[in-house]
Amino acid sequence: MRHPTRRRLLAAGLAAPLMLGTAPAATAFPSRPVRIVVPFTPGASTDQIARLLAQRLGETWKRTVLVENRPGGATQIGTDLVAKAPPDGHTMLLAGFAFGVNPSLVPKPPYDALQDFAPVVLCAATPNLLVVGADQPMRTVADLLAASRSSPDGLAFASAGVATSNHLCIELLKAKTGANLLHVPYKGSAPAVLDVIAGRVPAIFDNVPNVLPHVKAGKLRALAVTAPRRFSLLPQMPTMIEAGVADFEVTSWFGLAAPARVPRELVDIVNAEVNRILLQPDFRDLFRAQGVELVGGSPEQFGNHIRAQIARWAPVVKAAGLGG
């Protein structure tokens, strides 16, 4: 998956804040430990990004940067904690895919995704792979769609839970093709993938880092990638669009956001430093090897991305009958 504009976005996001004068309020930042709230359980790829980013931010700032896992409520518990935190830049959220879905999914959320947060920087993105167990007869997306239509109860698809990116991939595939698919939610990606490997469930869409090692080990067979273009680590793998499913593009993403009233000069300080880290070759290579692309850019670009994600998933959530 190649994005020739990514490096320019990173450079732009890094350079713009450095041209601003440093306001007095910013000179002492950070003045105490900083925490990055991750609204997921420890161990996921989201958690790894947060911890490695926190380590390098701490090295630069000479301050402790803590990662605090606050899972629960479909990410609402940790997200709401940050929305109500003091707007001084010392508490940030590692927002992700659910941040763009929950406004359509939750009837009365405790926070407003657009009004209660200041976007800081889009850090990383990874597509999903459509994979089946190695013993499954399906070798193409067309095979899978045909199998679904011949199944009276629907072809079973595992997911990491309701309204996750892999679940909404299933709903999007149903909407685009009329496929007969049966959603089987699990409590997390790991048990879902294990059941696909064991043959208890035929298929799953999942983030590249979660399934790529199993594809390389021959335990899973990848049929397509949900990126807009072919994936660099599996160049022979077609995209869902190439496989005949029009406008099928799904990317899981992760970015830093702060409480809404945080001063802009603090947003710019964090944005510049994160962009600098994202450009470091060893940092980029570490994530690229796992199928995660580092992104970067300005706060405005991240804000536009969030608004686009909310608009993208609202009709899918509604069509699937998931909203409250």
CATH number at residue 214: 3.40.190.10
pLDDT given at position 324: 63
User: pLDDT tens across 100-111, in order?
Assistant: 999 999 888 899
Distance between CA atoms of residues 190 and 107, nearest Å: 29
Asked if residue 108 and residue 59 are part of one domain, the reply reads yes
Q: Tell me whether residue 284 is in a domain.
A: yes
Tokens 């010392």 appear where? 90
Return mean pLDDT, the chain: 90
User: pLDDT tens across 158-171, in order?
Assistant: 999 999 999 999 99
Distance between CA atoms of residues 88 and 259, nearest Å: 8
Distance between CA atoms of residues 121 and 10, nearest Å: 10
Asked if residue 13 and residue 119 are part of one domain, the reply reads yes
Asked if residue 103 and residue 24 are part of one domain, the reply reads yes
What is the rounded average pLDDT of the residues 63-83?
Answer: 94
Q: Tell me whether residue 324 is in a domain.
A: no
pLDDT given at position 2: 43
pLDDT given at position 48: 85
Instruction: Determine which helix (DSSP H) or strand (DSSP E) holds 82, and give its type and residue range.
Output: helix 76-83
Among 210, 198, 112, residue whose Cα is nearest residue 164: 210
Asked if residue 257 and residue 122 are part of one domain, the reply reads yes
Strands 117-133 and 251-259: antiparallel
Domain count for the chain, please give it: 2
- Would the pLDDT of 33 be above 60? yes
Distance of CA 156 to the CA centre of its chain: 24
Distance between CA atoms of residues 12 and 296, nearest Å: 9
Q: What is the SS3 assignment for 246?
A: coil
- Would the pLDDT of 87 be above 50? yes
pLDDT given at position 187: 87
Q: pTM for the whole thing? A: 0.87
24 secondary structure, DSSP code: G
pLDDT given at position 27: 58
Exposure pattern of 280-304 as b/e (b: 16+ CB <10 Å)? eeebbeebeebbbbbbbbbbebbbe
Q: Tell me whether residue 285 is in a domain.
A: yes
Asked if residue 20 and residue 119 are part of one domain, the reply reads yes
Residue 24 sits in a domain of what CATH number? 3.40.190.150
Bigger pLDDT: 221 or 234? 221
pLDDT given at position 105: 92
Asked if residue 264 and residue 205 are part of one domain, the reply reads no
Asked if residue 112 and residue 139 are part of one domain, the reply reads no
pLDDT given at position 192: 95
Asked if residue 171 and residue 94 are part of one domain, the reply reads no
Asked if residue 102 and residue 20 are part of one domain, the reply reads yes
Provide the domain limits for residue 133: 127-225
pLDDT given at position 22: 38
